[in-house]
Structure 1
Amino acid sequence: MLKENCILTGQNVTILGWARSGIAAARLCEKLGAKVFVSEAKPEEALDEKSRIELNHYEHESGNNTKKALSADLIVLSPGIPLSIPILKNYTGRIWSELELAWRSLPCRTVAITGTNGKTTTTTLLGNILSQCYKNGKTYVGGNIGTAASEAALSARPEDLCVLEISSFQLETIEKFRPDIAVFLNLRSDHLDRYSNINEYAEAKRRIFMNMQKEDIAVLNIDDEYTAGLADELRNIKVVKVSAQKKADYNLRREFNSQILEAVKAPENLLSAVAVADILGVDFDEMMEVLRKFKGLPHRIEKIGSIGDVVFYDDSKATNVHSVEAALLRLDSPIVLVMGGKDKGEDYSEILDLVRKKCRCVVSYGNAAERIQKILGGEIVFKFDSAVKRAYELAKPDASVILSPACSSYDQFKDYVERGERFKKAFSELQMEKDL
């Protein structure tokens, strides 16, 4: 599609939040001719060295967001910052997400992938396929993972492709963002620490379609109740349906063997990636070569080893109840489940019956521990390493231990990756103690 040029020459732009997307947005705004000011609520010493060096390239403030941040024609908002923060209440200018800024500057076709669960796996899998099989240009993969969209916008050409994982947070502050292909995987209750209810969360998610037109394509997993409903509602967009259970445009094929299905974790992840690749003209046999080599991503029901007959699984990416449910259904009983972290307002009672059926015990840690224990029972061990050790003691001699938190990581860790790596380290330490 033809887009109007994004020109910010002579405009004052504030970058609110100085993480990966904020840094990329500042570079892009500078390239587009803007005068950039950065406002970061964290003190400068709390930033890593690379971020501090980048920050000092721009006029900035740190340790607080002051009224100086409002002296701007445009504010570019990092995805972790809600519109409800006090400093923004009296601001009447434009507010864009970094996604909006990047899209206006991208000269190439864009694929946007959203949903509650499976976004990263689907984005990574599709990125792998296109990077190896799409011959017309380069494929950029990023958004909510990896490369920020604004980073791609700095160097992308018209013949390239940009595959973006998109969160509800990023979609809150779009105006014209219009992907050529939008993938919606599923919707489950999540982020209720940010949204007042699931309907508000769903409205943020479905904004991905709000500017799309008849030549654009929506790829929908109709095995999910919410996205099946969207298939009936989106009358002005071409809808492509994928399903592992119902008749659809793309269904499971015999070539998708158990190894591939195990790597992708959920069939809608595989089918959505295959559908988009096919729409973009990728040869199926070439696609299959990539699928056979895909090993899956870490921290998603990842078997990390055993101590005797006790098997350990890292499912740190499971930051909502639905993901925990999926993990418990996959594993054999008995299970010792390690849950906890920063409470997101999840309804833990949704998995109560399954926990009673499959779990020997739930060990809860961190900020959400007391609420989890009150609903699901089990034991509370507030410190993470101690919780893993206690889970092992309860699992002996023959149960599995799985970290599947149903919470965000931010009470004790910077992200789910750091939490998963700490779990692996705790496992290794237990293994060494056993060997002594």
Structure 2
Amino acid sequence: MKKINQYDGKTVLVLGLAKSGTATADLLHKLGAKVIVNDRSPLEGNEQAEYLLSKGMEVVCGGHPTYIFDQKIDVVFKNPGIPYHNPLVQIATEKEIPVLTEVELAYQISEAPIIGITGSNGKTTTTTLIDEMLAADKKSPLIAGNIGNVSVEVAQQATEKDIMVTELSSFQLMGTDIFRPKISVFLNLFEAHLDYHGTLDEYGKAKAKIFFNQTKEDYAVVNADDAQVMKLSEGIQPFIVPFSTNKTVDGAYLKDNYVCFKDEKIISIDQIVLPGKHNLENILAAVAAVKLSGVSNEAIIEVLTSFSGVKHRLQFIGERDGRRFYNDSKATNILATQKALSAFENNVVLLAGGLDRGNEFDDLLPYMSNVKVLVTFGETAEKLMRTASEAGIKQLKHVDNVEKAVPVAYEMSESGDVILLSPACASWDQYKTFEQRGDIFIDAVHKLK
């Protein structure tokens, strides 16, 4: 990692722990900073806080007391999920103290160039595709960021021979100052996280920070089919490389049933294992990013003929008596379920339901023509059943949970059907995470007799 001294002797507040906060505090301590850690969870039973306390850091737990700012604070590193209306963040902003996230620190110490991927949907799939394509061509990628591997931990191990492939949320990008990826990828922009950002405009500005420090020596891979992405990329410094599923562009596109890059046919769409039109967008973005990184067509083909999806994201589980099972538990909103349903032509048995956020499901109606059976669970079960009835779906079943939904869906299906878990809702009414919900689905599929 690069040796930096800008934090030596500085007082740094790390706000919020979890994986990223703990790793950030640990690194800052190594870099010579006086680290103050604040986490709202009580100290008792907080293993991460106790670990940092044992390292000699000041740890304040159980809330966000403003007296922390009675002493001079030079920099704040906050957990991305902590909102900007948090009282400590507000004080820092008023005092014009920089408020950063750990991806900024990761960039500062990384010896490796960075490919940064952002967007409302498809980030994890695209990040994983880029990682696997680079690996297939022996390019030494290191996957990091919002995908589960903390960026500051990965960056400490990165060398000039590596490439950091980093998934980036709007929350993370808001807390950047000099962060500069060699290749940025902006997939799409839809209404999401408005409780955090306030408006779609502010959400888009946060995403567009991925471009801010790039120069003419860098690249920006952008979705030519998304008007908002194209507007946000107007006037940026990096060389723009577009991708499109609808037209020929000077980048990655579809033509004559082939994935192409700059007049070169790479692979027939029929050879690609990963289902769904939305995944073709992810594939094109990944192809553009890796071609700019010098990856061979052979490596791209190797990945696209074997990669069946990221876990919980339209993940193919297997086939049983002619039924194909897909786990799309990551579909925690209507838009994601729309995309999942669009991936299949007909005969879908849909498993859906979860946390009730007060919304209706009318936006699913145009996408339910291929659904023959709906099995619902969770708080939104009745709302989903009303929507399904409006869509003309005759076979409806309400069950207690995902585990019970699987055998019911199997009994109500027949050979040739797709059994799809795509809840269109968050999981928190019944499960801690969407991952837990998806794992229960997978387990239930494997238990079918």
Sort the TM-score into its range (normalised by shorter chain).
0.7 to 0.9
Q: Which amino acid aligns with 2:439?
A: E
Q: Which amino acid aligns with 2:34?
A: K
Moved more, 52-61 or 211-220: 52-61
Determine the structure 2 residue equivalent to 1:77.
Answer: 78
* d(CA) in 1 for partners of 2:110, 2:415: 56
Find 2:204's aligned residue among 195, 199, 202. 202
| Conserved 8 A contact 1:310-1:399 | yes
Determine the structure 1 residue equivalent to 2:336.
Answer: 323
Determine the structure 2 residue equivalent to 1:23.
Answer: 22
Residue 94 and residue 151 in structure 1: after superposition, are their counterparts in 2 closer, same or farther (change >3 A)? same
Q: Which amino acid aligns with 1:167?
A: S
Q: How does 1:1-400 map to 2 (within 5 A)?
A: 5=4, 7-44=6-43, 53=51, 56-57=54-55, 58-67=57-66, 69-70=68-69, 71=71, 72-91=73-92, 92=95, 93-133=97-137, 135=139, 138-230=140-232, 233-248=234-249, 249-251=251-253, 252-253=259-260, 254-258=265-269, 261-263=272-274, 265=276, 266-305=279-318, 308=321, 311-342=324-355, 348-355=361-368, 357-369=369-381, 372=384, 383-388=401-406, 391-392=409-410, 395=413, 400=418
Secondary structure of the corresponding residue to residue 189 of structure 1: coil
Secondary structure of the corresponding residue to residue 351 of structure 1: helix
Deviations 1:32-85 (A, max 9, x none): 2112222222345665x6786466434323332323554532221112221122
Deviations 1:198-231 (A, max 9, x none): 3332222122222323222111121333334445
* d(CA) in 2 for partners of 1:207, 1:176: 10
| Conserved 8 A contact 2:272-2:305 | no
Moved more, 277-286 or 418-427: 277-286
| Conserved 8 A contact 2:118-2:185 | yes
Find 1:420's aligned residue among 430, 438, 445. 438
Secondary structure of the corresponding residue to residue 281 of structure 1: coil
* d(CA) in 2 for partners of 1:45, 1:424: 35
TM-superposed CA distance for 1:157, in Å, is 2.7
TM-superposed CA distance for 1:371, in Å, is 5.4
Secondary structure of the corresponding residue to residue 185 of structure 2: strand
Residue 387 and residue 268 in structure 1: after superposition, are their counterparts in 2 closer, same or farther (change >3 A)? same
* d(CA) in 1 for partners of 2:401, 2:302: 44
What TM-score, normalized to structure 2?
0.82
Secondary structure of the corresponding residue to residue 262 of structure 1: coil
Q: Indicate yes or no: 2:408 matched with 1:408.
A: no
Q: Which amino acid aligns with 1:358?
A: N
Secondary structure of the corresponding residue to residue 256 of structure 1: strand
TM-superposed CA distance for 1:8, in Å, is 0.5
| Conserved 8 A contact 1:413-1:419 | yes
* d(CA) in 1 for partners of 2:62, 2:411: 43
Secondary structure of the corresponding residue to residue 142 of structure 1: strand
Deviations 1:69-121 (A, max 9, x none): 54532221112221122443333322101112222222332111011121111
Secondary structure of the corresponding residue to residue 177 of structure 1: coil
* d(CA) in 2 for partners of 1:417, 1:271: 26
Residue 306 and residue 419 in structure 1: after superposition, are their counterparts in 2 closer, same or farther (change >3 A)? same
* d(CA) in 1 for partners of 2:217, 2:358: 39
| Conserved 8 A contact 2:273-2:306 | no
Q: Which amino acid aligns with 1:324?
A: T
Residue 210 and residue 340 in structure 1: after superposition, are their counterparts in 2 closer, same or farther (change >3 A)? farther
| Conserved 8 A contact 2:17-2:48 | no
* d(CA) in 2 for partners of 1:63, 1:257: 56
Q: Which amino acid aligns with 2:66?
A: K
Residues matched between the structures, number = 424
Give percent identity, aligned residues only: 36
TM-superposed CA distance for 1:315, in Å, is 0.6
Q: Which amino acid aligns with 1:28?
A: L
Q: CA RMSD in A?
A: 3.2
Residue 205 and residue 4 in structure 1: after superposition, are their counterparts in 2 closer, same or farther (change >3 A)? farther
TM-superposed CA distance for 1:342, in Å, is 3.9
Residue 218 and residue 6 in structure 1: after superposition, are their counterparts in 2 closer, same or farther (change >3 A)? farther
TM-superposed CA distance for 1:180, in Å, is 1.8
* d(CA) in 2 for partners of 1:351, 1:236: 39
Gap runs ≥5 in structure 1: none
